[in-house]
Structure formats: structure tokens, C-alpha cells
């Protein structure tokens, strides 16, 4: 099937398999921030934005993204650096495997809720697993980041 993808503003046109997942397509195209985790939509490391909505790319068929804007961490470098600065200052940036998924979830949250409550922060981060640290550090980092804005 011919697919046209718009990834971080760049246009791609190619043949995709009908059962190909967006995670695999993005990795083939060189978007390495999108990680393979659980392959069951429950860990968050493959999170990206499709048409402005946070989605797990491991279960999102490539064909569904046809002609829709896709955003990965590579497309939000400035925002990602700002988010990473606060996470690093809280010391919760252990191995970094979950970081791209966390950054995408935080970015989506800030677009949807510019002044989120702690419950909204917890809601947006709920689907993002981090095996190295607890989540209180991420929550503290986000609260500090949002106070600075």
C-alpha cells in the first residue's frame, strides 16, 4: 500500500505492508527516539503524536497515519531539552530508555493542559513506565518546570 507520511514536517512516500506498525516504519526511516518496549501499549516508550494526539506507535498501523502529521522527539528538540533539564535536575534520568516516551507525554500534556494539576500530571505519565526510578521525581520535575513557565 502506498503511504504518505509527514514526520516532523518532512514528507515521505513509500510502500508499506498492510500490517506494518508505525513504530517499525519510524525506526526504518531513522527515527531512533521511538523505542520498542512491551509491544502491548502499556509501557509508553514508543509514544508519539499523530495528528496532535498521543498514541503508542507499537499498535498504530502505519496506514492509519497516511497524510497525518506525526511528531517524534526529533521534531521537538527545543522543548525536549527544556523538559530534560528539569528531569535531570531531579536526578530521575537514570538509563534514559523511557525518556523519549516521557518527553512526548509531557509535551502532549502541556499542549492540552498548560497549567495541569498534579492529578493531570499523574494521568499523563500513568502509561509511561520507568524501571530505574520512582515517579515522584518526575512529578517534582514537572511541577518545577511548570512554575518556571
Domain endpoint, select from 18, 51, 74: 74
Residues 39 and 58 in one domain: yes
| Average pLDDT score over residue span 13-33 | 96
How far apart are the C-alpha atoms of 28 and 22, rounded to whole Å?
A: 10
Residues 137, 144, 120: CA angle, nearest 5 degrees = 75
Domain endpoint, select from 74, 92, 125: 74
Q: What domain range is 80 assigned to?
A: 75-148
Residue 35 has pLDDT above 60, yes or no: yes
The answer to whether the beta carbons of residues 3 and 62 sit under 8 Å apart is yes
Residues 7 and 54 in one domain: yes
Residues 52 and 79 in one domain: no
- What is the value of pTM for the model shown? 0.89
- What is the reported pLDDT for 90? 83
pLDDT tens digits, one per residue of 69-88: 999 999 999 999 998 898 88
CATH of the domain at 121: 1.10.150.120
Count of structural domains within the chain: 2
Output the CA torsion 58→75→128→39 (10° steps).
10
CATH of the domain at 17: 3.10.20.30
- What is the reported pLDDT for 134? 67
Amino acid at each position: 500500500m502506498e503511504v504518505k507520511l509527514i514526520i516532523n514536517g518532512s514528507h515521505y512516500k513509500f510502500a508499506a505492508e498492510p500490517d506494518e506498525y508505525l513504530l517499525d516504519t519510524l525506526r526504518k526511516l531513522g527515527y531512533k527516539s521511538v523505542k520498542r518496549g512491551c509491544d502491548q501499549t502499556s509501557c509508553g516508550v514508543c509514544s508519539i503524536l499523530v495528528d496532535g494526539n498521543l498514541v503508542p506507535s507499537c499498535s498504530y498501523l502505519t496506514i492509519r497515519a497516511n497524510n497525518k502529521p506525526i511528531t517524534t522527539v526529533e521534531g521537538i528538540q527545543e522543548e525536549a531539552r527544556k523538559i530534560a533539564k528539569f528531569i535531570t535536575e531531579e536526578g530521575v534520568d537514570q538509563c534514559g530508555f523511557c525518556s523519549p516516551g516521557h518527553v512526548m507525554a509531557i509535551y502532549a500534556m502541556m499542549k492540552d493542559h498548560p497549567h495541569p494539576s498534579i492529578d493531570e500530571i499523574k494521568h499523563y505519565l500513568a502509561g509511561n513506565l520507568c524501571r530505574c526510578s520512582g515517579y515522584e521525581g518526575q512529578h517534582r520535575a514537572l511541577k518545577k518546570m511548570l512554575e518556571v513557565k
